[in-house]
Structure 1
């Protein structure tokens, strides 16, 4: 069955594709390879003054090889200072000669001398010497040392060294009795070093020379190739050679099939092996279960878990953890807990990994209390939750928006001597920035650095984005510069945040300078940053600059996106150039793009502003003809256009169309309709729409209530407006300053100065910023009603709050005091005017 899954291609075919043939280096070159210079060794090992050899122990310096060999064979070399003094005089060829000579009769001395030079003097042995020692280690049955030697050798040689090393092995060492094992270990070493091409070359050469690789080597290769089709070529090679497979062979194959999402073939392989009398191992089942869980087939994984018992296999902790993790990801927490209990019943103790999986599962579902129960259970068992568990809990609190609990957990960790890791800090920083607490986030950055943790790209990007969103772009730029000083290079996300921040702040000239710097330094190779600048220009109506940037995009060979064109269309709409905007709509298709709902909605909004209802519906028809689905924003634009023409009934029909098409209106949609109803004096309809919002789980915004309160005030139902206002206050619903000023003006107009004063004081207590305009609106209305004394009270309140009157207020008040003959108040006001540099008319 397996050979039918993939056609077998001999390994040599793959080598011809992967490893181009290189001419082999002549053997003579291997023996003249330079080593550490004799001068270097001489400097390191020069004998101290007075330690010269005596006349009785004088050696002929012309032939140091003979003397060293004699000393090594006599076992007195490593204690004979005179012999050691000869080492600096040795060349690489002489070292090869000594090791080669010792290899035949004194292998242990050869090995000792080899490592003595390597470790004691840092001597770099030739390939030939290294292979001599490799064969000696193989002969003496020391596989670990052999493997270590070859791995170090390959680190020096690097990839694509297999052809030359193979040639040396064959030409020089084929007569050695341990040659086959060295070949096999060389292939294994290449595989372990992930030099797969070289490993395949050695295997192919072995096959040509009639040598057999071990299953250990084949398994290592299978493991490295398990994510590719070549895995099957290696496996078929194993079958052809008839090498006995072991349990790891099948486990690797199953893992490879699972990684390639071939789960059915993996399951079939298990069945086939069972049919051949091979008992599946726990590792094979674990691999299969993991594969099915990753693909979302937790039910199949559970079935395999049961099959394990039928096969007489006992699942281990890893088996349970795989299944528990799969159940947690799927959201089946109760079943995951049941398997944890079953784990203990079968004598398998849940470990920290098990509890981490369960805690993470609860957090993913937003059930942080469940994660706390897991920690409590761990403590009862005597297990100590470590940083990973706390990180999971912090992540859970941040996900559910419970930032206060996440920060409290951080304090508890620090008080118990736990150190937060960079992931925990980044999660907390992100949550603080999202909540607008960027100042706290910056103090947390200092805490992070004080614990020895180094902020990374993610950390800086989070803070820069948060600062820019808050409008503190200068501080964001300081952090940006700090990144460069620490050799952390910003990415597209960081650049975008700063460019957006500068654009939103209105500092388009600064944004352009930053943008041009990025362009000059080749830090920009995509369209995203261009889109930010183009939209910034379009928003201000600077369409010439936006078009110039578009032309730069084309010149640089950057492909514009639909966002680019949408921004340009919006820019032309801002300049009321609708004909040009439609021209850009045609240009979209020329660049191989398709208009989106945003494209058409932008044009429709432009026509809406022009009051061109017919043109707006014409664009809607074109949009539907091109199979572009209108969004809730599209329909809200249509509703806005109709409401401006006081066509409320038609607007309500559009709302019904939205419901029929499964498109949910948002708060802006309802606010537009409520505002139109108020203008049409239909407050009943306005409140009916308000209630409809609540039925659709939409929370009315402060704008909604401003519109309703204003509508009630305009149509003379001030008591109902007061009742609505009081009801909203009782429900702790946040109201804006507009709601207060609307009611204050209405009560002033009705002559209810006391109520206006109470509302004004409430507005001050709420912390709203009170401007001269607010005082002016009240004082003017009171003066018109000849309520001069009350107007004077507001004037005094204004002065006590440090707000100086302007010319308009002074003129109105002087006129009012004059009408009632209040000369003292006139003189007092005139004095105040002179202080402020104002002159009476």
Structure 2
């Protein structure tokens, strides 16, 4: 039989040609005029007799069917013999790659709904909506109402359709189906409403859905309130969330652990750990027992706040209340110690975790690797990497980035590049951070050409460099390459309005100033003004430095007024640069004038400032005047 089917498909049924032919609505070839048999009746009869799969005669009728005839067969079998309808539908779709019409698909949907095979119904509709896409709700709803209103379990199909639209994040389609259901007086389930609430929790529309739930008197679940509270918290409406929690006190589905967890999580994210603790205590007042997630939220908030002692107390309290700390709990505590640079404390937590029969996971190893690299102990980080690999774990992007960064800081860029190749060989894709770290390391080492090669590789992978990578290469070219190379790279980046980064301009302005090309520096300053890019004090400090280097001190002095005109405040470097130039000219009085202005503006002198003053006084053989200014 399989050989017969295969021969029919390859010799008599050019499937792709028929599907792609826009001039025909037939999926299968038309029956021969010489064949008087009614294929629809024949196949329906055969299915009812369970003869389809062992009848060469019936199989030979399949190629003669068109979409309308398939609809007729499924329409009949869907009522008379539902199981046969499903078998025939799957036969055409799986064996012959037949593209069923909406009518046929809704027949099967109603069959599955009637048999309460809801999981299959959901999967079936998901596949259907993936093919049809966003905006299909009006057409599907019209067909569903006009063709299937009298079918048993039609309400279940409507509800599942709205639910699947929502779960597929086609919210507008879901809302359309829901509105249609309301017009037709078909009740939506709380699962569908909850799904919509979840998708709309970032917006004010969630209240419209909630009002609809109350108006329809749909029995709510405990998740309904939790979703609303989560939505209010995400919209930074914490007071409204608390008010809503209190409003539902005493109702059938009043406050639940999930609602309190949501409030605690939002408070901790906003830095209100004490408020989160009050919600934690309130749970007991309502007769609720915090779960592991509740404790983990609070412990994490305390760790981020640096309150490790209190975090450890809550972990002990967790065990006293019969809630077992999990790997997440121990990872949170270990990370807390790591953030404080206390790796001994982190290791104590890991030992306690092992004593309680829990094994470290990828997150645990990542925390420890980050901690040791953070404290400069990169060798210990690599030991952990080897242990991690021996345990069958694979390093993640974070672990690799931390190791790469540590190697680059130590000048071991070659080892960092080897680690990059290892990362790629195990299937991990380096991201923007990874490439930026390596590019910066190569440029700092003076290997700008290799950095550019890595930069180009990143661009080919459609990972677009950030300002950190751009400035690293530009700085490298300006220091290790030629000024022409640096300018060409700069022009390529700033052409038009593609890159408006003041850091790039500052690099070039300073480089021109250092090479006594103050005219080019001023031109770039004018370009910044024309493009409307926000200036920084570094821009003016470089210009003042350039004019001082060219011994144009009067012009350099006027830039102080320009700084103020742009709403910026000169810093210690600004004044010290001017003072040093005046000192070199032997103008000690001018130097002290700048110092007096600096003190009047409450700008704290630096060690460099005092060094310049001492140098000037010594140069004039007036070292005795040092004491009045110290």
Q: What TM-score do the two structures reach when normalised by structure 1?
A: 0.65
In 2, Cα distance between the equivalents of 1:355 and 1:59?
Answer: 79
**SS of the residue 1:274 aligns to:** coil
Selected match of 1:293 from 255, 263, 268: 268
Give the drift of 1:156.
1.6
Give the drift of 1:235.
1.5
Q: CA RMSD in A?
A: 3.2
**SS of the residue 2:50 aligns to:** coil
Q: Match for residue 421 of structure 1?
A: 396
Deviations 1:187-209 (A, max 9, x none): 21111011222222222232233
Q: Match for residue 380 of structure 2?
A: 405
**SS of the residue 1:350 aligns to:** coil
Give the drift of 1:465.
0.4
Deviations 1:386-438 (A, max 9, x none): 22211101111122233333233334444555443332121011112123333
Q: Match for residue 561 of structure 1?
A: 535
Task: Check if 1:533 corresponds to 2:508.
Answer: yes
Retained in 2: the 8 A contact 1:68–1:83? yes
Selected match of 1:90 from 65, 78, 91: 65
Task: Check if 1:124 corresponds to 2:99.
Answer: yes
Selected match of 1:594 from 554, 568, 572: 568
Retained in 1: the 8 A contact 2:528–2:535? no
C-alpha distance 181-454 of structure 1, shift in aligned 2 (>3 A): closer
Give the drift of 1:139.
2.5
Selected match of 1:350 from 296, 305, 325: 325
In 1, Cα distance between the equivalents of 2:159 and 2:522?
Answer: 66
C-alpha distance 616-157 of structure 1, shift in aligned 2 (>3 A): farther
C-alpha distance 123-358 of structure 1, shift in aligned 2 (>3 A): same
Retained in 1: the 8 A contact 2:576–2:612? no
Task: Check if 1:544 corresponds to 2:516.
Answer: no
Deviations 1:747-793 (A, max 9, x none): xxxxxxxxxxxxxxxxxxxxxxxxxxxxxxxxxxxxxxxxxxxxxxx
Q: Match for residue 828 of structure 1?
A: none
Selected match of 2:226 from 231, 247, 251: 251
**SS of the residue 1:227 aligns to:** coil
Selected match of 1:630 from 603, 609, 628: 603
Q: Match for residue 236 of structure 1?
A: 211
Retained in 2: the 8 A contact 1:603–1:619? yes
Task: Check if 1:380 corresponds to 2:355.
Answer: yes
Q: Match for residue 804 of structure 1?
A: none
Deviations 1:796-831 (A, max 9, x none): xxxxxxxxxxxxxxxxxxxxxxxxxxxxxxxxxxxx
Task: Check if 1:263 corresponds to 2:235.
Answer: no
Q: Match for residue 645 of structure 1?
A: 617
Give the drift of 1:367.
1.0
C-alpha distance 589-169 of structure 1, shift in aligned 2 (>3 A): farther
**SS of the residue 1:645 aligns to:** helix
In 1, Cα distance between the equivalents of 2:297 and 2:557?
Answer: 57
In 2, Cα distance between the equivalents of 1:607 and 1:91?
Answer: 95
In 1, Cα distance between the equivalents of 2:542 and 2:210?
Answer: 56
Give the drift of 1:337.
2.1
In 2, Cα distance between the equivalents of 1:64 and 1:580?
Answer: 97
Selected match of 1:508 from 480, 483, 487: 483
Give the drift of 1:622.
6.5
Give the drift of 1:377.
1.7
Give the drift of 1:492.
2.8
Most deviating of 247-256 and 468-477: 468-477
Retained in 1: the 8 A contact 2:518–2:547? yes
Q: Which runs of 5+ in 1 are unaligned?
A: 1-36, 45-57, 656-841
Residues 118-517 of structure 1: pairs in structure 2 closer than 5 A: 118-276=93-251, 278-414=253-389, 418-449=393-424, 451-484=426-459, 488-505=463-480, 507-517=482-492
C-alpha distance 381-110 of structure 1, shift in aligned 2 (>3 A): same
- Aligned length, in residue pairs: 601
C-alpha distance 631-419 of structure 1, shift in aligned 2 (>3 A): same
Q: What TM-score do the two structures reach when normalised by structure 2?
A: 0.86
In 1, Cα distance between the equivalents of 2:223 and 2:366?
Answer: 35
In 2, Cα distance between the equivalents of 1:425 and 1:539?
Answer: 38
Retained in 1: the 8 A contact 2:126–2:168? yes
Most deviating of 188-197 and 165-174: 165-174
C-alpha distance 119-600 of structure 1, shift in aligned 2 (>3 A): farther
Retained in 2: the 8 A contact 1:292–1:301? yes
C-alpha distance 484-368 of structure 1, shift in aligned 2 (>3 A): same
Give the drift of 1:155.
1.2
Give the drift of 1:38.
6.5
In 2, Cα distance between the equivalents of 1:407 and 1:395?
Answer: 11
Retained in 2: the 8 A contact 1:608–1:638? no
C-alpha distance 618-242 of structure 1, shift in aligned 2 (>3 A): farther
Q: Match for residue 663 of structure 1?
A: none
In 2, Cα distance between the equivalents of 1:269 and 1:648?
Answer: 73
Retained in 1: the 8 A contact 2:148–2:154? yes
Retained in 1: the 8 A contact 2:617–2:626? no
Most deviating of 74-83 and 230-239: 74-83
Retained in 2: the 8 A contact 1:391–1:424? yes
In 2, Cα distance between the equivalents of 1:415 and 1:109?
Answer: 54
In 1, Cα distance between the equivalents of 2:625 and 2:235?
Answer: 56
Give the drift of 1:284.
1.8
Retained in 2: the 8 A contact 1:138–1:178? yes
C-alpha distance 289-73 of structure 1, shift in aligned 2 (>3 A): same
Q: Match for residue 28 of structure 2?
A: none
Retained in 2: the 8 A contact 1:96–1:126? yes
Task: Check if 1:571 corresponds to 2:519.
Answer: no
Give the drift of 1:125.
1.9
C-alpha distance 526-297 of structure 1, shift in aligned 2 (>3 A): closer
Q: Which runs of 5+ in 2 are unaligned?
A: 1-11, 20-32
Retained in 1: the 8 A contact 2:296–2:329? yes
In 2, Cα distance between the equivalents of 1:167 and 1:616?
Answer: 85
Give the drift of 1:359.
0.9
**SS of the residue 1:304 aligns to:** helix
Retained in 1: the 8 A contact 2:560–2:570? no
In 2, Cα distance between the equivalents of 1:202 and 1:614?
Answer: 83
Retained in 2: the 8 A contact 1:59–1:67? no
C-alpha distance 212-418 of structure 1, shift in aligned 2 (>3 A): closer
Residues 103-118 of structure 1: pairs in structure 2 closer than 5 A: 103-118=78-93
**SS of the residue 2:248 aligns to:** helix
In 1, Cα distance between the equivalents of 2:109 and 2:218?
Answer: 24
Retained in 1: the 8 A contact 2:221–2:253? no
Q: Match for residue 8 of structure 2?
A: none
